[in-house]
Structure 1
Amino acid sequence: MLVNYSNDYDVKCELDACKTYPIITDSERGEMFCGGCGLVLVQNMSDISHESNGYSQEDFMKLTRTGPATSLTMHDKGLSTVIGINKDSSGNALSSKTKYEFNRLRTWDQRSKSRSTVALSKAFTLLNAMKTKLGIPDNVIENAAYIYRKAVNSKLTRGRTMASLISASLYAACRENNIPRTLDDIADAGNIERRILSRDLRTIIKKLGLKLNQYDTSSFISKISNNMNLKEKTKRDAFDILKRCELKEITAGKHPVAQAAASLYIACMINNEKISQKKFSSEAGVSDVTIRNRVTLIKKTLKITE
């Protein structure tokens, strides 16, 4: 028997023999089925694909179908009914009496929303604000909204603030998509303490079973060098130093941001770019003592002389 599942949950086959098999999505038929036994788990999925672009009124009328695509970053996924402007279907202005009635309807429509809907709306407003501050792509924001919805469904909101949970979800999404953003960056953008963010992140990882990979250190080299306007040759030398460090196996267990900052500092010295460790410390968000220790280890291992 087919069962309609909500898209907010991860669908899994109940058979023990199929736990290792992936769930396959057939977008054309609107179904999701088990890759092991072939059991159809979800049917009648909504089409969330984007519409074709139309650059004229005629193209728009031909290509438009159901409006914009649904999005997890909206509290209603973009499917709610909105009471429009004070005009009728012909474009004529409404009378003052009808306009007053529609204003009252808008007010009561806003007041009648459930607490969960209002909470999601506030959370995703904060998420979009953090997206603008940190310059994060839309696909990562969609992933963060998905993780936050799973946290809400798992009842992790009790005893935790909305800002800390949405920030932890955003950091987890950045880790999954290898977008170089540190805990300090997320904490500053969300206006919360780093300690609280770390605590809620550990809770989300444990309760939701997330498997987050370590950041690629080279992505932090690109980020720091672009923010400090370093030469392209300096950046390439830093990549080369990092690669040699990985071959010597001295990067395991080291802070990726500190490793990137140390590689860039040594590359600056090689290319006669006079930038202090204090500047790298301020830009990378790690202490200058940590950078100094990493620089000393890299120089000793790779036998680099000034």
Structure 2
Amino acid sequence: MKQITDTILMVRPVGFRMNEQTAVNNYFQTKIAGDNINEIATQEFDIFVEKLRAVGVNVVVVDDVPGDDTPDSIFPNNWVSFHENGQIALFPMFAENRRKERRLEYFARLEEAGLKITEIVDYTIAEEDDVFLEGTGSLILDRVNQKAYCAISPRADEDLLIEFCEDFEFTPVIFNAYQSVENKRLPIYHTNVMMCIAEEFAVICLDTIDDKKERKNVVKHLKMDDKEIISISEEQMHEFAGNMLQVQGLGKKYLVMSARAHRSLNKEQISRIEKHCEILSSEIQTIETCGGGSARCMMAEVFLPKA
């Protein structure tokens, strides 16, 4: 099993804006005035893709379809995950307008690129019961050690997480993670804003796990699997320093993050990351501000086997 891949699926936006349906429990979103938001977001997207391709990452870009009101389509990792055995998982989404993002025609592009799909495991019927599990936004997958770390939230249902783990043979590591919003501790909407697992290390905001037993359990699992734990503060998490993804470039590994996340890290954190791999960052300020997601959310890693 591999933890990282050199192939990424990304969706170029056509109607990007702040999504009012997700803002109800994504406290990272802020509205920006102006009628050229999508244009700026697309520029940020294209520069980011260029940077990934320049270091040898195989980025499969698909274009969103105009007119469908899919403001968050730039974040495909929430509705799909790709696995080494050829399986694809489709996930139930909290916001109704995000459900339109699931486009099976994108998979034809992956097959054209010489990849093999053996089965689609579809969990989307759970939406009928208002039960959600938003892909690798909710699930931080340690694919080598077959563990799925998940912070329970309105977008991550515990029973559905356990069902996914049984189907894909992962061990669930379940906890609650909170952020301070107007002096209240509220659930973090996606695990991947507070945690990232790379081959040899994990970047995590342990301060968000208020329950000491739960925090100890997460640390125990990471240590058991020989992950160096690089802690970030809640303030750094709000700069998207937890929203990172390690990828394989040409002969080198990279930890991919936004420029904002990169700026928030201190020298010690940077040097600890750079012991393992290089940092690749890109300016995606508009996407982060309106979308409430960052670099990791924009990349759906593809682990499908070659056909």
**Greater strand percent: which structure?**
2
Check whether TM > 0.5: no
Tell which structure's C-alpha radius of gyration is larger.
1
Alignment TM-score, normalising by the size of structure 1: 0.27
Alignment TM-score, normalising by the size of structure 2: 0.27
